[in-house]
């Protein structure tokens, strides 16, 4: 199991990940009854609320059934480098035009969802409302999407926030996702390997070039974490992949510090190629 170091995650250090029930087969019957009773009581005190509408849900789950169908999961063939979904069948390990013309600094990127109305609300709920109750589900989707990347990984680390933004917001949502993904995958977690040394403006509707300039020189590997990175396969975690400028800046920094490979796993990505913006 990956070490859950709390540093850098913000005021609530440990993620609220779904309880693991795999031990259920071996635990005594009395204990199982107590756990069930505890969950029922917890459900009465803190009823499950939709991650999007905040309405109380009648049963277990995090979304109303009607919203599930509006999510677009990335399941088919995709660019071997940036994870862009292909609309037609292609050869395995096919790379998209953007990656052929200008290969990204990271090795591979994978995302669970296409960034659309509902996935945007999931990201905003996590980022601005601190909805940690969905972390188990969201990181589960990310774990499925990035299973191949996680299989050979040595380290999971999030895209960091600048210190001032971390203080202002109180937490780093990418750190929460990284911690939940490390817990479910068993890959070692370090939430503070990367440091954002430049307070960059919010990328908003900046063009791909402007985003690249915006994050140039914005990251550093902490000297105390160099040993974790050198010669290792690192998985970088973020909430959304847009042009990938931030992920590329982090990947370049990690590779300069000696990382053997840098892969990226995000909750969502834009539907278009790497030059698109949200
Ligand atoms: Zn690509």
CB under 8 A, 24+ apart: contacts of 39-47: none
Query: Ligand 1: distance of its center to the CA of 160 in Å?
Result: 24
Query: Ligand 1: distance of its center to the CA of 6 in Å?
Result: 34
Query: Ligand 1: distance of its center to the CA of 25 in Å?
Result: 44
No. of H helices and E strands in the chain? 11, 7
Query: Ligand 1: distance of its center to the CA of 133 in Å?
Result: 32
Q: Which residues surround ligand 1, an ion (CB under 5 A)?
A: 79, 81-82, 84, 96, 99
Mean pLDDT confidence for 49-67: 83
pLDDT band at residue 208, thresholds of 50, 70 and 90? confident
Produce one character per residue of 130-167: b if its CB has 16 or more CB atoms within 10 Å, e if not.
Answer: bbbebbbbbbbbbbebbeebbeebbbbbbbbbeeeebe
pLDDT band at residue 39, thresholds of 50, 70 and 90? low
From residue 215, give the alpha-carbon distance in Å to each of 160, 218, 246. 12, 5, 6
Q: In this predicted model, what pLDDT tens digit does every residue of 85-117 receive, in sequence order?
A: 998 888 889 999 999 999 999 999 999 999 999
Q: In this predicted model, what pLDDT tens digit does every residue of 138-190 receive, in sequence order?
A: 999 999 999 999 999 999 999 999 988 898 888 999 999 999 999 999 999 99
What was the pLDDT predicted at 32?
66
Query: Ligand 1: distance of its center to the CA of 143 in Å?
Result: 20
What was the pLDDT predicted at 215?
85
Phi then psi for 56, rounded to 5 degrees? -65, 140
Please give the model's pTM, rounded to 2 decimal places: 0.81
- Output the CATH code of domain 63-269: 3.40.50.2020
Query: Ligand 1: distance of its center to the CA of 78 in Å?
Result: 8
Query: Ligand 1: distance of its center to the CA of 273 in Å?
Result: 7
Q: Which of 134, 149, 145 is nearest to 180 (CA)?
A: 134
Query: Ligand 1: distance of its center to the CA of 74 in Å?
Result: 14
pLDDT band at residue 62, thresholds of 50, 70 and 90? confident
Query: Ligand 1: distance of its center to the CA of 214 in Å?
Result: 22
Q: What is the distance between the alpha carbons of residues 214 and 211, in angstroms, rounded to a whole number?
A: 5
Q: State the average pLDDT for the chain.
A: 84
What was the pLDDT predicted at 12?
43
């Amino acid at each position: 199991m990956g070490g859950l170091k709390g540093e850098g995650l913000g005021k609530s250090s440990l993620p609220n990940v779904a309880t693991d029930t795999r031990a259920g087969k071996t635990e005594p019957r009395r204990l199982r009854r107590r756990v069930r009773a505890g969950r029922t009581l917890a459900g009465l005190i803190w009823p499950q609320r939709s991650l999007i509408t905040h309405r109380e849900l009648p049963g277990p789950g995090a979304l109303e059934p009607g919203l599930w169908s509006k999510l677009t999961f990335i399941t088919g063939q995709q660019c071997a480098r940036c994870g862009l979904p292909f609309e037609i069948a292609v050869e395995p390990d096919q790379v998209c035009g953007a990656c052929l013309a200008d290969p990204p600094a990271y090795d591979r990127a994978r995302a669970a969802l296409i960034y659309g109305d509902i996935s945007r609300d999931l990201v905003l709920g996590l980022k601005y409302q601190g909805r940690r109750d969905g972390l188990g589900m969201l990181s589960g989707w990310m774990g499925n999407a990035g299973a191949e990347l996680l299989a050979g990984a040595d380290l999971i680390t999030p895209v960091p926030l600048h210190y001032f933004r971390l203080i202002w917001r109180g937490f780093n949502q990418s750190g929460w996702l990284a911690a939940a993904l490390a817990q479910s995958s068993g890959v070692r977690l370090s939430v503070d390997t990367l440091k954002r040394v430049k307070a960059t403006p919010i990328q908003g509707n900046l063009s791909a070039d402007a985003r690249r300039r915006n994050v140039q020189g914005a990251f550093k590997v902490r000297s105390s974490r160099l040993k974790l990175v050198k010669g290792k396969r690192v998985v970088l975690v973020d909430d959304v992949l847009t042009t990938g400028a931030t992920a590329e800046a982090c990947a370049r920094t990690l590779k300069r510090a000696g990382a053997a490979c840098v892969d990226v796993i995000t909750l969502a990505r834009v539907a278009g190629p790497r030059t698109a913006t949200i």
